[in-house]
Structure 1
Amino acid sequence: MRRTVPRPTTSPSRRRVALLLTAALAAAAVPGLLAPAAASAAPDATAAGAHGTRTAPTLVARATLAADHLAAGPPSGALATPANGRQGPFAGQVVPGFSGVVDAGDGTFWALPDNGFGTKANSGDFLLRLYRVDPAWQTRRGGSGELHLTGHVQLRDPDGHVDFPIQREGTAQRLLTGADLDVESVVRAPDGTFWIGEEFGPFLVHVSATGRVLAPPVPLPGATSPQNPSLGAGEQPTVRASAGFEALGGLRDGRYLYPVLENAYLADPDQSRRVVHEFDTRRGRYTGRTWDYRTDQVGNLVGDAFWVRGHELLVVERDNLDGPAAAVKRVYRVDLRREDADGYLRKELVLDALAIANPDGIGAGDGYGTGDPFRFAVQSFETVVRLRDGRLLLANDTNYPGNAARVPGTPDDTEMVLVELRRTR
């Protein structure tokens, strides 16, 4: 029998946030980030497991998609910022890494790129899709280590549920583009439909198994980004650009979603706070329940969330650096029933992605961090999925053509890696 997570006692810090958000709707946003704290010390390479055990995260499989791979479709990237020797337009649809992944249950995955090239202004020719991915894993036994894209579903709005102007307004299918939504996270419901977390609103978007929008995008009360289409002249946003629902955990009891803001609310005096919200998919609205997650440093971001069981989430916390400069690429476990004295969720380290054992040399020679230990030192570590056998799947958003973590001057490939949490005692 599944247990219902009890409503936590509202902490003083949470009450302060509620008051601040109300005030922020009528006040100017606080500009800029607070000065970041010194980088937190690297954690032990082993991580805490259940019942006091220790685990040694170990790389067991890896597969990549070439950075310059183009999927079928019209040219894209005409206005993309040139970088690393690449300049658009490109002769098909760029696949700029994955911001969210769903286990399809048959060895393949549904994978979601973001809005394409980073802004509304430069992503109008990028089509929003979910790709079906079939990895030919490289393991200790060999394997090609290639990610194969075997199909996709196109996000589209032929029924006109998206209630603001879109790039392809007036067309029959109303194919959605990166100028319309900045999709960042995804969960599949028991009925096969998908819930998608988005950043321009931020919104939650419900689409069918074939990508058809099923209802108007749901805004988060009190949260508006600078790109929110409802933001009026003279109104101030309450969240930063590109700081919406990068993370989306669920579905608890097949019903509740847990979207997490990537960054702090602009007016929050504690800029290390990242708010976890609860959304009821049956009622189509937020429940009003929230939890506070505190990052290790002010500048760290929440990259993804994954619902493990009854009351536990895995949370990706990362810095915004890559290659040798990267210092924080971590997966924490939080329990919504456990808060510290200040009202923040207690965090337990599950994985330091910069210190993954690689005794079999998987991926060795592919650039920085591919030896032993294996370092997932990409800028945008934005996916964690716990598979049924307990292994963790990690993936990256490449920000094509901008990121070059592995080989300086060469755009990063899209990577999927499987990490086994091996017990050490």
Structure 2
Amino acid sequence: MRFTLSLLAACTLLSTPVLAQTVFPATLAGHAFLPAMTMVAPPADAPHDLLVSGKFTGAKRNDRPMSVMGDVGTAYGSHPTGISLPFIGQPIQGLSGFAANRDDDGSWFVLTDNGFGSKVNSPDAMLFFHRMKPDFGSGKVNVEETIFLHDPDKKVPFRIATESTESRYLTGADFDPESIQYLNGEIWIGDEFGPYVIRAAKDGRILDVFETVLDGKVIKGPDTPGITVPAEPGKAFQVQRSGGYEGMALQPSTNLLWAMIEKPLLIEGGNTQGDFLRVMTFDTNTNKWTGESFKFKLSEGAQAIGDFNFIDETRALVIERDNGEGDSAKACASGAADLNDCYPIPAKVKNVVLVDTASVDEDGFIRRIGHINLLDIQDPDGRALEGMKPAEGPFTFPFLTIEDVARYDDTHIMVANDNNLPFSGGRQIGTSANNEFILLAVPELLNAK
């Protein structure tokens, strides 16, 4: 294939380490947020059942709105978040991807994920993306439009939750959309469950759904339709649960999608391939996988990635993270019994990494140029919003899941978190995290080669 050959010609085999440790400075240039409790009404032709979401997040069905308090879970101290389920309406929470290309009016395409974290608990969570305009002057994020995914032409190759309806809106029982791109008037989405690549019209109508092919074989996850339990990890499925396409970058010069698996793939026996992630390329011109694949090496302590976007023809940004949440200054003491006012698993690794996809070593690893540390952001001009900054020290972005990054202009990038409503805090103990957008001045990072 033409693009396959051009990729091979562009890749330079390097002997330098793939795990560069250069840390570049980051300065807060703007801060805005969408309140955690931000809802949108379902379309008029949606099933009545979808007027209330989150009915299946507990041990049994619950139809009483706002009756069960959300919390961060036992591993994170069981802190309440101040927001209760089920919800009247559909939550805009779970921002899980920025498209590199903006709409004609300058608004950003922003993706919401599957709802509440799994197939089982999200059959009443609708799937949608938005056009948003963060205003770093006022500190507000304006939602210009919400577009609901629907499948009237029956392009989805399996039974969906709303199969018997005329509108056939998609829900979190069907897909877990985690990455988004906008190209030639169409939307491309990376899904975690399949994992699948989804092509949709700008109005949310599904046009195609593509399986993932790696090394000539279709790879699957434990939530792929057709996988039955018990199933042998590494044999029946290779993708970890919630480990599909968290990042899917669009390369400007080729219109290739570089689809990155969120977590290391499984091998027979249940172990992982190693501390690296696989990246496959999909050609939007032919709607086929190119057969090329690469590797992204995680830094020490990182366990997953959050987003992936090109900034020019070959260089791209990748968010890598651990599973920690909250400011390390409020970490729980070792062996502490009372976890009410501390973070048992504080955030330690939250990086935005710059990589060069044209520089690949002999083992297939993409070269890491360097990174910024989202737990060490300078704020000399006091840009951080009140109630969302530490009492002292640098500004931090200590959220469990940080899943949105894109180049804003020649010297700035924009980053946002997935707030997992109502199951994550991170900014303040006992309070649900908002969807925060930060504008970072990072000229040294963006100019690095």
The answer, yes or no, to whether TM exceeds 0.5 is yes
1:294 pairs, out of 289, 292, 297, with: 297
| Higher deviation after alignment, 128-137 or 338-347 | 338-347
Say if 1:131 and 1:151, in contact at 8 Å, map to a contact too: yes
1:319 pairs, out of 310, 322, 327, with: 322
Name the counterpart of 2:400: 379
Name the counterpart of 2:274: 271
Question: Does residue 101 in structure 1 map to residue 103 in structure 2?
Answer: no
Q: CA deviation at 1:153?
A: 0.9
* C-alpha spacing 1:171/1:364, structure 2 compared with 1 (3 Å): closer
Question: Does residue 212 in structure 1 map to residue 205 in structure 2?
Answer: yes
Alignment of 1:75-94 (within 5 A): 75-80=52-57, 82-83=70-71, 84-94=81-91
**Identity percentage over the alignment?**
32
* C-alpha spacing 1:414/1:269, structure 2 compared with 1 (3 Å): closer
Say if 2:311 and 2:406, in contact at 8 Å, map to a contact too: no
Q: CA deviation at 1:63?
A: 0.8
Q: CA deviation at 1:313?
A: 1.9
Alignment of 1:345-364 (within 5 A): 345-364=366-385
Q: CA deviation at 1:151?
A: 1.5
| Higher deviation after alignment, 248-257 or 199-208 | 248-257
1:165 pairs, out of 155, 159, 166, with: 159
Name the counterpart of 2:193: 200
Whichever residue aligns with residue 87 of structure 1, its letter is S
Say if 1:204 and 1:218, in contact at 8 Å, map to a contact too: yes
Say if 1:78 and 1:125, in contact at 8 Å, map to a contact too: yes
* C-alpha spacing 1:105/1:354, structure 2 compared with 1 (3 Å): farther
| Higher deviation after alignment, 283-292 or 415-424 | 415-424
Name the counterpart of 2:36: 67
Whichever residue aligns with residue 402 of structure 1, its letter is F
Q: CA deviation at 1:391?
A: 1.3
Whichever residue aligns with residue 212 of structure 1, its letter is R
Q: TM-score, normalised by structure 1?
A: 0.83
Q: TM-score, normalised by structure 2?
A: 0.79
Q: CA deviation at 1:232?
A: 5.0
Q: CA deviation at 1:213?
A: 0.4
Name the counterpart of 2:337: none
Q: CA deviation at 1:252?
A: 3.5
Name the counterpart of 1:183: 177
Q: CA deviation at 1:10?
A: 12
Note the alpha carbon deviations across 1:20-52, whole angstroms, 9 max, x for none. Answer: xxxxxxxxxxxxxxxxxxxx99x77x51xxxxx
Alignment of 1:236-247 (within 5 A): 236-247=236-247
Note the alpha carbon deviations across 1:77-126, whole angstroms, 9 max, x for none. Answer: 11235322433211111122310112335442121110000011111111
CA distance in 2, matches of 1:312, 1:360: 30
Q: CA deviation at 1:350?
A: 3.4
CA distance in 2, matches of 1:150, 1:305: 24
* C-alpha spacing 1:369/1:317, structure 2 compared with 1 (3 Å): farther
Alignment of 1:119-130 (within 5 A): 119-130=118-129
* C-alpha spacing 1:4/1:166, structure 2 compared with 1 (3 Å): same
Whichever residue aligns with residue 339 of structure 1, its letter is V
Say if 1:58 and 1:422, in contact at 8 Å, map to a contact too: no
SS at 1:323 equivalent: coil
* C-alpha spacing 1:188/1:90, structure 2 compared with 1 (3 Å): same
Note the alpha carbon deviations across 1:191-218, whole angstroms, 9 max, x for none. Answer: 1101000011000000001110012343
* C-alpha spacing 1:372/1:299, structure 2 compared with 1 (3 Å): closer
Whichever residue aligns with residue 312 of structure 2, its letter is R
Question: Does residue 224 in structure 1 map to residue 220 in structure 2?
Answer: yes
Unaligned runs of 5+ in 1: 12-39, 48-55, 138-142
SS at 2:7 equivalent: coil
SS at 1:239 equivalent: coil
CA distance in 1, matches of 2:319, 2:245: 13
Name the counterpart of 1:174: 168
CA distance in 2, matches of 1:269, 1:5: 27
Say if 1:66 and 1:413, in contact at 8 Å, map to a contact too: yes
SS at 1:214 equivalent: strand
Say if 1:356 and 1:372, in contact at 8 Å, map to a contact too: no
RMSD of equivalent CA atoms? 2.6
Q: CA deviation at 1:175?
A: 0.4
Say if 2:179 and 2:248, in contact at 8 Å, map to a contact too: yes
Name the counterpart of 2:413: 392
* C-alpha spacing 1:371/1:76, structure 2 compared with 1 (3 Å): farther
Say if 1:97 and 1:413, in contact at 8 Å, map to a contact too: no
Note the alpha carbon deviations across 1:54-91, whole angstroms, 9 max, x for none. Answer: xx321111110111111123221112353224332111
Name the counterpart of 1:6: 8
Name the counterpart of 2:115: 116
| Higher deviation after alignment, 75-84 or 272-281 | 75-84
Name the counterpart of 2:75: none
* C-alpha spacing 1:178/1:345, structure 2 compared with 1 (3 Å): same
SS at 1:126 equivalent: coil
Number of aligned positions between the proteins:
380
Unaligned runs of 5+ in 2: 14-18, 43-50, 59-69, 72-80, 328-345
Q: CA deviation at 1:285?
A: 1.4
Whichever residue aligns with residue 288 of structure 2, its letter is R
Q: CA deviation at 1:337?
A: 2.8
CA distance in 1, matches of 2:12, 2:228: 32
CA distance in 1, matches of 2:439, 2:265: 33
* C-alpha spacing 1:66/1:280, structure 2 compared with 1 (3 Å): same
